[in-house]
Amino acid sequence: MDLDFWWLLVIPVAFALGWMAARYDLKALLSESANLPRSYFRGLNFLLNEQPDKAIDAFIEVAKLDPETVELHFALGNLFRRRGETDRAIRVHQNLLSRADLPASERDHALYELGQDFLKAGLLDRAEETFRALEAGDYALGAQRALLTIYEIEKDWNRSIDTARKLETMGAASLDLEIAQFHCELAQEALQQKKPDEARRQLDLALKANAQNVRATILTGDVEAAAGHHEAALAQWRRVEEQNASYLPLVAEKVMKTYEALGRAEEGVQLLTTWVDRYPTNDVLDVAYRYVENLRGLDAAHALARAQMQKSPNLAGMMRLLEAQQATAEEPRKSELELMRTLIRQRTKNLPRYTCQNCGFRARLFYWQCPGCSGWETYAPRRVEPITASS
């Protein structure tokens, strides 16, 4: 009974204390709100109504009335940068950095935002200098990521590798995929400079970073082919099937030309037709069709195109099928087939061939690094068919 009595006393006391605390918080909030300029609330209202131009004007007025509003300066700078007014964003953040009373954490924040302004404006040297000043603290990781972006833009692959490794030590997720691509870029440069030994060294490092890097395997085959080692080149390019068969379109022509150089063209055609059967793609079919026609005749090429059309109807296969039929047709059927081929060719010749799986950027050429989002290995190495049976 005593326990029940004390509970009856505790409950109203706790309720009273909670009510008093809520009243105090409410008074503090109202007091703070009363001290804010009306322009601040007008700016917020404009933002909520998706009127950024009017919001910026209102916030500029607040900043003039109350220079101590640090967070408002950050918001204003970000709004300027998002609108592309990088010169105004830079002035806002430089103004913050000029304040002697700015706390260290806010100074790092202002430096980071200023670096982003420089980066957006394309002032890479100034952006790099700013981000390099953030070696430690809450913004160090973000600064290193920005530095990596800068080095990739500048194609400074050695510093890209160093920065990626540093990011990993700072707790970032593994960047082995990117690092392997950086080594491939260095290998590509070495090949252009006629330095095969350096190219091999970089490709070994690429495969050490990422054993499934198809590009390194393809480039290793290129190094061997340039040295006249045709069998070794073929061995590398045929490894692509084991690593990732979707990249076979990138080596089909190389493989066939090497088999021709070795005097074993029929063996190469047999391999290509096997690939077409196992991994149907328009690009491999295009290569196989030409060589089948040269070695085995038009009927064999026609049969190959017809078989692929039955498996996966598409415009590229239709073009080959029409070509084969036209070669043996008589007038006026031949003219009709030529008209159909012309119409399909006009429909497809200017269409993008590849689509980035990350950002959707479409391009006619294959890229290892997307020009849109700068992601690595985001393009499927097979053409996007503009019109297929499913569409």
The two tokens of residue 213 are 């890097």
The two tokens of residue 38 are 């009306």
Can you point out the beta strands (E) in the chain? 354-355, 362-363
Distance from chain centroid for Cα 86: 24
The owner of tokens 């950050």 is: 74
The owner of tokens 């006026």 is: 332
**Sign of the CA dihedral running 265, 266, 267, 270:** positive
Cα 93 to Cα 40, 42, 58, 99, 116, distances in angstroms: 19, 23, 18, 10, 10
Number of residues in the chain: 391
SS3 285: helix
| Of the candidates 329, 259, 322, 318, the residue with the CA atom closest to the CA atom of residue 294 | 259
The owner of tokens 């081929």 is: 341
The two tokens of residue 363 are 């391009």
The two tokens of residue 86 are 């990088």
Report the alpha-carbon distance of residue 130 to residue 124 in Å, rounded. Answer: 10
Report the alpha-carbon distance of residue 249 to residue 20 in Å, rounded. Answer: 74
> What is the distance between the terminal CA atoms of the chain, rounded to a whole angstrom?
79
**Sign of the CA dihedral running 125, 127, 133, 136:** negative
Would you tell me the crossing angle of helices 157-169 and 176-192 to the nearest 10 degrees?
160
356 is in an annotated binding site: yes
Cα 332 to Cα 299, 335, 336, distances in angstroms: 21, 5, 7
SS3 102: coil
Report the alpha-carbon distance of residue 262 to residue 268 in Å, rounded. Answer: 10
373 is in an annotated binding site: yes
184 is in an annotated binding site: no
- Binding region: 356, 359, 370, 373
- Binding region for Fe cation: 356, 359, 370, 373
